[in-house]
Amino acid sequence: MNPVLSVRGLEKRFGAVVAADALSIDIAAGQRVSLIGANGAGKTTFVNMVTGYLKPDRGSIALDGVHIGRRSPRSVARLGISRSFQVPQLFIELTAAENLAVAVSGMHATTLSLHSPAEAPGRRDKAIELLQRFGLANLADRPISELAGGVRKLIDIAMALVRRPKLLLLDEPTSGVSAEEKFATMDRVIHAVAPDAATIVFVEHDMEIVGRYADRVIAFYSGRILADGSPQDVLRDPEVRRYVTGGAR
Amino acid sequence: MVFPVIAVTLFGRVLPTWTLSLATIAASNGLVALGIVVLARTGNVSFGQGLFFAAGGYGVALIANNWGITDAAAQMLIGAACGGLLGLVIGPLIARYSGIFFGMLTLALSMVFYGALVKTTVLGGSDGFNVVRPSLFAISFVDPREADFMLYAVSVVTTGLAGIAATILFRSEFGLASLAVRENNLRVEYLGISANRIITINFVIAAVFAGASGAFALMAQRHIDPQFAYWTTSGEFVFIAVLAGYQSVSAVFVASLALELVRSFSNLYLPNAWQLVLGVFLLAVILFLPRGIGSLWIRQRRKSAGVSAETSAVEEGAPS
């Protein structure tokens, strides 16, 4: 099967710091991949390059065979890669439904209507349907500024889902969520995401979450891939235990 | 929305003559300020709308003097077209900048235009030149009161229609996306929407409004000079936009009228200190209404909406 995402020899340096060192990764359709690594290991740089925010110094990135390494975030999003953020990137003065409505507006047209109401029935329905999937429909008309961090995180993910992406990148979906709620939150995310995003890559620091929800784990260290395989194998890898998990599990 | 426009237009019939020209200037200034508010919804403020105001005014004046087009409605359209065309040239170049850089660039461009106008003797240099009194649909107005009312009516109808168009725009998906750009333009890009295009379109709309307003100012004064492009002219429009806030269209016209009234009366009763009165007025608005005059009724509307949303959330058992 052809990979959805194919990365070859990806390199990125920030001065003397090597953030990506000849990374080569193939991600097949339907996989649920977790990226792990200590802070500064290169996970977010990898996500930023794949989504067009950073341009690689060398190497290629292809989505379904289309080269996207030099494209803008907008162009990459239109081709089928969406992302959520470690710190939710929302429009905080707008309501939850309006945030989703903006995302829905960007889904079809390259030119937005100057007269069609922002929350016309079609757009509003789609926004509410997405909020419903995350159990947030009752908060549709509340401004983001009034919502808790965990709820914002879910809305951030819901916005990324609007385009029904081929590849969904989630940056630490459970960060800021309490230990008691993290599995419930992740269950909710996986359940809500399932109909729209077949392939998911998520950056995660919590190894319990990684072990339970990923079917493949890629461990980063100093911009390189330290280990790549099933959660059982990677999390037991001595190098991963030494440099990434610190002996967890 | 059309009814208030008709009512205000007809109200001009009973207004004293001196208030007609005041209201015409208020409507005209309100139109430029409305453009600034349209643009401000993307998070960018233009300190150089005098550029498009002057472009509209000079365009209309040159066409009137060379081709004899004196019809007020046609002049308004010509002014809007001149402003819009210039906006179309500058908008895409300037849209990639934001914040203070955006504001200073617009100011710089307007001052470059001002400098060019002052040095262009064929356009009258710093003295400018005169134009003939406007007509309307081939009717010439000899009686000054009738001429003032005609101009008042055309400016109120135009500004009213622009206000209706802006209201529709604010509520549209484009209007919502403009607010999103204001808050987080990178996220807008990640949603597959071009933030630059949104800023450019808003910029062109603001330029069209400023161009039409320049035409009205020309018709009211029957004279044009480089002062149209000067930074103090642009500053006055920003002043109105700040007074109004960015949330309400009607607030722009209320702010513009309030400013003209404060200016007229303070000029009458405190001729040596009217600028001081204006400054105190602006300070008071900033202090008590930091989001502008419009926040008076927008806040009230939000409060009512919030109460009904909370009621329904409680009924549905939402987490608090």
Q: Is there a domain that residue A49 lies in?
A: yes
Q: Is there a domain that residue A201 lies in?
A: yes
Of the pLDDT bands very low, low, confident and very high (cuts 50, 70, 90), residue B69 is confident
- Candidates A102, A124, A145, partner chain B, best to mutate (most B CBs within 10 A): A102
Higher pLDDT, A175 or A101: A101
Chain B hits for A126, CB-CB cut-off 8 Å, are none
> Per-residue pLDDT averaged across A189-217, rounded?
86
Of B180, B197, B313, the CB nearest to A102: B180
For residue A196, is pLDDT > 80?
no
Residue B129, CB-side half-sphere exposure with 13 Å CA sphere: 19
State how far residue A170 is from chain B, nearest Cα, in angstroms. Answer: 13
Chain B hits for A89, CB-CB cut-off 8 Å, are 184, 186-187, 190
Chain B hits for A81, CB-CB cut-off 8 Å, are none
For residue B313, is pLDDT > 50?
no
**Which domains are assigned to chain B?**
2-315 (1.10.3470)
For residue B312, is pLDDT > 50?
no
What's at B93, amino acid-wise?
L
Chain B hits for A119, CB-CB cut-off 8 Å, are 176
Q: Is there a domain that residue A71 lies in?
A: yes
- 3-state DSSP: chain B helix, strand, coil percent, rounded to 5? 80, 5, 20
For residue B152, is pLDDT > 80?
yes
Tokens matching residue B170: 């604010």
Q: Is there a domain that residue A152 lies in?
A: no
Over residues A128-155, the pLDDT tens digits come to 998 998 888 898 889 999 988 888 988 9
Q: Which residues contact A235 (CB under 8 A, 6 or more apart)?
A: A207, A210, A211, A217, A241, A245, A248, A249
A91, A92, A121, B55, B179 from A98: Cα distances, Å: 9, 10, 12, 37, 10
Q: Find the radius of gyration of the CA atoms of chain B.
A: 20
Q: Which residues contact A25 (CB under 8 A, 6 or more apart)?
A: A5, A6, A7, A218, A225, A228
Q: What residue of B is the nearest CA neighbor of A165?
A: B191
Q: What's the pLDDT score for residue A50?
A: 94
Count residue pairs from A and B with Cβ separation < 8 A: 107
Q: How many CB atoms lie within 10 A of CB A183?
A: 16
Over the range A223-241, which residues count as b (16 or more CB within 10 Å of their CB) and which as e? bebbbbeebeebbebeebb
Of the pLDDT bands very low, low, confident and very high (cuts 50, 70, 90), residue B316 is very low
Residue A195, classed as helix, strand or coil, is: coil
**Segment of A180-194, B145-159, B207-221 carrying the highest mean pLDDT:** B207-221
Q: Is the dihedral of CA B298, B301, B307, B311 positive or negative?
A: negative
Give the CA angle between residues B216, B221, B224 to the nearest 5°.
85
Q: Find the radius of gyration of the CA atoms of chain A.
A: 18
For residue B37, is pLDDT > 60?
yes
Of the pLDDT bands very low, low, confident and very high (cuts 50, 70, 90), residue A27 is very high
Q: What's the pLDDT score for residue B126?
A: 85
What is the span of the domain harbouring residue A183?
A: 3-80+165-245
Q: Is the Cβ pair A93, B183 closer than 8 Å? A: yes
Q: Is there a domain that residue A216 lies in?
A: yes
**Residue A167 β-bridge partners:** A81, A199
Tokens matching residue B46: 């233009």
Number of domains in chain A: 1
Q: Are B145 and B15 in contact (CB under 8 A)?
A: no
For residue B302, is pLDDT > 70?
no
Q: What's the pLDDT score for residue B306?
A: 55
On whether any CB of chain B is under 8 Å from the CB of A86, the answer is no
Q: What's the pLDDT score for residue B307?
A: 52
Q: Is the Cβ pair A110, B191 closer than 8 Å? A: no
Question: Mean pLDDT lowest for which of A78-87, A178-187, B200-209, B300-309?
Answer: B300-309
Residues of B with CB under 8 A from a CB of A: 168-169, 171-177, 179-180, 183-184, 186-194, 197-198, 201, 305, 309, 312-313, 316-318
**Residue A33 β-bridge partners:** A201, A216
**Segment of A42-51, A144-153, B270-279 carrying the highest mean pLDDT:** A42-51
Q: What's the pLDDT score for residue A96?
A: 92
> Per-residue pLDDT averaged across B272-279, rounded?
81
pTM for this prediction: 0.85
CA distance B30 to B27: 5
Q: What's the pLDDT score for residue A249?
A: 47
For residue B301, is pLDDT > 70?
no
Q: Please give the DSSP secondary-structure letter assigned to residue B71.
A: B
Q: Are B292 and B243 in contact (CB under 8 A)?
A: yes
The pLDDT mean for chain B works out to 84
Q: Is the Cβ pair B191, A162 closer than 8 Å? A: yes
Over residues A55-107, the pLDDT tens digits come to 999 999 999 989 998 899 999 999 999 999 988 899 998 999 999 999 988 88
Q: Is the Cβ pair B191, A94 closer than 8 Å? A: no
Q: Please give the DSSP secondary-structure letter assigned to residue A21.
A: E
Chain B hits for A141, CB-CB cut-off 8 Å, are 305, 309
A211 burial level (CB within 10 Å; 0-12, 13-18, 19+): middle
Q: Is there a domain that residue A186 lies in?
A: yes
Q: Is there a domain that residue A63 lies in?
A: yes
Q: What's the pLDDT score for residue A98?
A: 92
Counting residues of chain A whose pLDDT is more than 70, the rounded percentage is 97
Sheet containing A167-171, strands listed edge to edge, beginning at the edge strand earlier in sequence: A81-83, A167-171, A199-203, A32-36, A216-221, A224-229
Q: Is the Cβ pair A106, B169 closer than 8 Å? A: no
For residue B309, is pLDDT > 60?
no
Please enumerate, as own/partner, the contacts of A215-218 that have beta carbons within 8 Å and a separation of 24 or more.
A215/A31, A215/A32, A215/A33, A216/A31, A216/A32, A216/A33, A216/A34, A217/A33, A217/A34, A217/A35, A217/A36, A218/A25, A218/A33, A218/A34, A218/A35, A218/A36
For residue A20, is pLDDT > 60?
yes
Q: Is the dihedral of CA B133, B138, B140, B146 positive or negative?
A: negative
Of B175, B176, B192, the CB nearest to A74: B192
| CATH number of residue A8's parent domain | 3.40.50.300
CA distance B111 to B226: 10
Q: What's the pLDDT score for residue A123?
A: 81
State how far residue A37 is from chain B, nearest Cα, in angstroms. Answer: 25
Residue identified by tokens 């914002």 is: A152
CA distance A195 to A164: 8
Q: Is there a domain that residue A171 lies in?
A: yes
Of A72, A92, A93, the CB nearest to B189: A72
A4, A93, B273 from B299: Cα distances, Å: 48, 13, 34
For residue B187, is pLDDT > 50?
yes
B264 burial level (CB within 10 Å; 0-12, 13-18, 19+): middle
